[in-house]
Amino acid sequence: MNYNEAMLYIENTAKFGSNFGTERTEKILELLGNPHKELKCIHIAGTNGKGSTTAMISKILIEAGFKVGMYTSPFIEEFEERIQINGQNIPKCDLAKVVTKVSEAVEKVIELGYEHPTEFEIITCAMFLYYYEEKVDYAVIEVGLGGRMDSTNVITPLVSVITSISFDHMQILGNTLGKIAFEKGGIIKEKVPVILYPQEKEAEEVIRKICEEKNSHLTLVNRDSVEYVDKDLSNEYYQNFIVKTKENRYEVQLSLLGTHQMLNCSVVLHTIDELIKQGINIKKEHIYKALKEVKWPGRLEIMRKNPLVVLDGAHNIDGITNLKKSVERYFKYNKMVLILGILADKQVEDMVSTITPMAHKVIAVTPHSYRAENSNILMQVIKKHNENCEAMDDYEEAYKKALSYCNEDDLILISGSLYMIGDMRKVVKKLG
């Protein structure tokens, strides 16, 4: 099949819904020759920070001279962003080739009596096959949802990384931090070391117990492992800080903004220390260069100045809370115009009450997803916390309206669903 046929095939599998588990994935991969078993992987789960952590680890390994696969979701602008090698999206022709091979294996799996694989399972199998065929040195794999039942959870990685655990996807993962942590901790494998972001006690105890059961060495990253260094960088948007691990002291200049990114970076550097212990040749100069240059679109991303336009895919209460702190810390502005779009299955009221009071005006939009909260319904929620609100469904018109409200010293903040951020990013790039 060609690229368009491959994309149609992937999209058509979406109608089979979310049927979680690894059994089908394992069978498809078995029919493909078990390519995942030949890969050296770093596996990353968590509620927030997975993508940034994945990007930082991948960039460091690339700077160290390795051929590195990076698997993330969802995509921001182009589907192929999800499967990258050394920062380059999978070529459309290669995507078509691996999806064709996967589709043939899927047919056999269905003939054997298995249920039809989901969209994410098919993409994951295609990713493993592509990285195997391209002979990557390392693959940095981000979990899709949860961990225990996620289709990426067929690997035995070099190290398992768990980022911040908070409330999200509760209808699937559970309604307590302990239950959610249990699902995230499902990626922990026998005797594979684990690096853990600083957690609430309830989540930490669950992960600690799993590590004990699996004989997996647990490295707990402490909040005080990071020391912020405030330097005037002449309006260059970097943050300077020191990270202290058991083995090293790192003086970091990070291109990713956000107080939470400093802790994410500490998790990354603890992970790198572990990889170095395993014999991987990574030098400090590789680390410093990578962290200064790393990009992660749609996360506290500055799109323009005068007025300042910032995009952030804060899609749950923890993300929105971090966003509020980051805006207060990093940006100087007169007034803020907020463009907000949220999925209906999120903690809408809590998210709205956290972020909207700091805005001068709010424009509610509808994310392009069947799970979206309608802009008019969202507007009614927002008006409880900020009367100066209107609803618009056309993204381009919403951005134009926001610009019309702003002077050069103002801020336009675009946030909420990642499904909305990608489309808004295109609009901002188009209109400037």
287-331: pLDDT as tens digits:
999 999 999 998 899 999 999 999 998 878 888 998 999 999 889
* Res. 372 pLDDT band, cuts 50 70 90: confident
Domains 3-293 and 301-431 share a fold: no
| Domain covering 301-431, topology | Protein-Tyrosine Phosphatase; Chain A (3.90.190)
For residues 416 and 339, give the distance between their C-alpha atoms in angstroms, rounded to a whole number. Answer: 8
- Closest C-alpha to 314, from 343, 280, 274, 271: 343
Residues in the chain: 432
Half-sphere exposure of 34 (CA within 13 A, CB side): 6
pLDDT digit string (tens) for 252-295? Answer: 999 999 888 999 999 999 999 999 999 999 999 999 999 999 99
Residues 132, 138, 139: CA angle, nearest 5 degrees: 70
Q: 387 phi and psi, to 5 degrees?
A: -65, -25
Tokens of 108: 């056999």
Residue 234 pLDDT: 46
Does residue 340 carry a pLDDT above 90?
yes
Element (H, E) at 37: none
> Does 17 score more than 60 pLDDT?
no
The domain defined by 3-293 folds into UDP-N-acetylmuramoyl-L-alanine:D-glutamate ligase (3.40.1190)
CA distance 151 to 22: 5
What is the per-residue pLDDT for 146? 84
User: Which residues 6+ apart lie within 8 Å of 339 measured at CB?
Assistant: 362, 363, 365, 398, 399, 402, 412, 413, 414, 415, 424
62 touches 272 (CB < 8 A): no
Residues 100 and 97: their CA atoms lie apart, in Å, by: 5
Q: Please name the residue ranges forming H helices in 2-118.
A: 3-12, 23-31, 50-63, 92-111
The confidence score (pLDDT) of residue 199 equals 95
CB atoms within 10 A of CB 343: 19
Q: Residues 146-158: what's their mean pLDDT?
A: 94
Average pLDDT, the chain: 93
Domain residue extents for the chain: 3-293, 301-431
pTM of the model: 0.90
- Cβ atoms within 10 A of the Cβ of 358, count? 14
